[in-house]
Amino acid sequence: MAIVTADSTLPTVQSYIDGGYVPSTSDEKFAALYPATNRTICDVEQAGAAEIDAAVESAQRGFAVWSTMPALERSRILLRAVAIIRARNDELAALETLDTGKVIGETSTEDVVTGADVIEFYAGVAQTLHGETIDFPGHGFARMKREPLGVCVGIGAWNYPIQIAMWKSALALACGNAMIFKPAEMTPLSAGVLAEIYTEAGLPDGVFNVLQGDARVGQALVRHAGVAKVSLTGEVSTGKSVMADAAGTLKAVTLELGGKSPIVVFDDADVDSALNAALTNNFYSTGQVCSNGTRVFVQRGVYERFLEPIAERVRALKVGDPFDPETMIGPLVSAEHRDKVMRYMKIAEDSGARQIIAGNVEDPGLAVGNYVLPAVYADCTDDMEFVTEEVFGPLMSVLPFDTEDEVVERANATPYGLSAAVFSSDFARANRVANALQAGSVWINDYGTLPASLPFGGYKQSGVGRENGANAIEHYTQVKMIYSSLVPVEKYM
Ligand code: NDP
């Protein structure tokens, strides 16, 4: 495939089942739009009931082959996929930019790269999966073996389409499962290409299938009796629906959901470092990152010093063409999402909070796309709607605080618990606060560093289970106990 540009149109996208693309029996199509202009890139065929059943049956056949293959061979196939992905990095990054509107400076250095890293990590883990033995001297022994679950379903959000597809499939496949992946309707372009790459790398047919379509396809998969497990990345409300639907067949679920994460900056912090972290982790991907630190608590002693450079720093961010390597702020994923974010911008403007910087897109060249300018409000209070709810756009709130106990209580006063950070030069305090913050990932004097070996996931309503890291195999395997007797069974009755 040639590297796509902002003007590319693509052939109709179909589901990928059993090693190849298949036409849909549903007769329904939807359009994939380029978020910077909202022009149609291509049509996408919505998978019908026949494709859903075909994908599950194919995955069950694929599972029978894959789960009995030596781990070394599975590992080699995953590593071949990694090599192909890395060789095609720029092409995949451009496709991701066209699909999501995310700037090329990010997709070419982050999205594809970190996806490949996770596949490489789990290719190694695949060879380390082993069981345990317990001896019962004079009687027998038991071996506990770790077995895959079967057909797993991955359902992706639109903000990191290819990375999510790689993260979910890497873990599932390394453990010997098959996966059916449903990308978000708004970002359908990359999942099929990943399936092609897996096939080229030698993955048996059916081990990674892709079904295109909207929430109906996701829901049918979650309810399907032939599916053993579901992993969703999405909103909290979707997580609740998926968990309820999965209960019908008692499927295991992994849920990677939303957040409203705090960054806590103490008076003794390196303020420049904290500000760098706050700006990046509010405006990267135009704010469309689940783990962003959108509630920035700053202690009063450094409060004004923290705020002072913000307006100039934010004004300097280049907004515009996502394919321009200099661009820092691209469009939001859709017009509907832009309208939602703009509603929160208005709520912030009317809230009484101090506006540090905000504004409307005036460039007529950008008006056809889903652009929103980054905004920062200070003197926010904990109860303001844009401070409590996930905006998923470039809106940062700064809140003053006085004491350690106070800030811990306020930072934790949210139903979310995805990520958090504390900035302080006091080692003991930084660790005390990190221990007290209710979040799945907490950084001290940093934000967002997340190599493949570290677990990621949420506390409270930000999720269930973990992805990445060696321990996540617990969520994609089950332990079977096999007891072997070394003595005859005694007569009892
Ligand atoms: P949504 O919850 O709207 O959708 C996520 C996926 O679920 C989509 O593929 C969607 O299909 C599908 N879906 C929707 N309803 C159902 C259902 N009832 N049953 C099965 N599948 C369903 O999330 P967004 O795509 O809007 O993504 C943004 C959200 O994702 C934010 O809340 C963000 O915080 C979160 N997120 C969490 C991450 C984490 O790791 N914790 C990482 C990235 C994002 P369709 O889109 O086709 O309707």
Average pLDDT (412-417) is: 98
Q: Buried (b) or exposed (e) across 360-398, using 16+ Cβ within 10 A?
A: ebeeeebeebbbbbbbbbbbbeeebebbeebbbbbbbbb
- What percentage of the chain reaches a pLDDT higher than 70? 100
Give CA–CA dist 45/34, Å, rounded: 17
- Report the pLDDT value the prediction gives residue 295, as an integer from 0 to 100: 98
pLDDT at 2 over 90: no
For helices 161-174 and 189-201, angle between their N-to-C axes, nearest 10 degrees: 40
Structure tokens at 12: 């109709």
pLDDT at 156 over 80: yes
pLDDT in tens, 201-232: 999 999 999 999 999 999 999 999 999 999 99
Neighbours of 234 (CB within 10 A): 23
Q: Are the C-beta atoms of residues 284 and 292 closer than 8 Å to each other? A: yes
Give CA–CA dist 178/343, Å, rounded: 41
- Whether the CB of 156 sits within 6 Å of ligand 1: yes
Residue 53: pLDDT band by 50, 70, 90 thresholds?
very high
- Kindly give the distance from the C-alpha atom of residue 234 to the centroid of ligand 1, in angstroms, as a whole number: 3
pLDDT at 124 over 90: yes
290 is catalytic: yes
Provide the CB-side half-sphere exposure for 429 (13 A, CA): 17
168 is catalytic: yes
**Which DSSP state fits 413?**
-
Structure tokens at 380: 């926010």
- Report the pLDDT value the prediction gives residue 10, as an integer from 0 to 100: 98
Give CA–CA dist 109/448, Å, rounded: 15
Ligand 1: nearest atom to the Cα of 418: 41
**Which DSSP state fits 184?**
-
pLDDT at 266 over 90: yes
Catalytic residue among 152, 175, 290, 380: 290
Give CA–CA dist 89/109, Å, rounded: 9
Q: Give me the chain's average pLDDT, please.
A: 98
Instruction: Give nearest CA residue, ligand 1 atom 19.
Output: 219
pLDDT in tens, 395-407: 999 999 999 999 9
- pTM assigned to the model: 0.97
250 CA to centre of own chain: 24
- Report the pLDDT value the prediction gives residue 1, as an integer from 0 to 100: 73
Q: How far, in Å, are 102, 157, 377, 436, 448 from residue 420 at the CA level?
A: 24, 21, 19, 11, 9
The pairing of strands 395-401 and 375-378 is parallel
- Kindly give the distance from the C-alpha atom of residue 431 to the centroid of ligand 1, in angstroms, as a whole number: 33
pLDDT in tens, 432-485: 999 999 999 999 999 999 999 999 999 999 999 999 999 999 999 999 999 999
Instruction: Report the chain's C-alpha Rg in angstroms.
Output: 24
* E-only strand ranges, 302-412: 354-357, 375-378, 395-401
Give CA–CA dist 454/279, Å, rounded: 23
- Whether the CB of 390 sits within 6 Å of ligand 1: yes
pLDDT at 423 over 90: yes
Closest CA to 5 of 93, 106, 115: 93
Q: Are the C-beta atoms of residues 143 and 131 closer than 8 Å to each other? A: yes
Closest CA to 367 of 16, 8, 24, 38: 38
Catalytic residue among 45, 51, 152, 168: 168
Q: Which residues contact 352 (CB under 8 A, 6 or more apart)?
A: none
Give CA–CA dist 5/98, Å, rounded: 7
Q: How far, in Å, are 105, 263, 492 from residue 368 at the CA level?
A: 22, 34, 82
Q: Are the C-beta atoms of residues 126 and 75 closer than 8 Å to each other? A: yes
Identify the burial level of 326 via C-beta atoms within 10 angstroms of its C-beta, where 0-12 means exposed, 13-18 middle and 19 or more buried: exposed
- Report the pLDDT value the prediction gives residue 105, as an integer from 0 to 100: 98
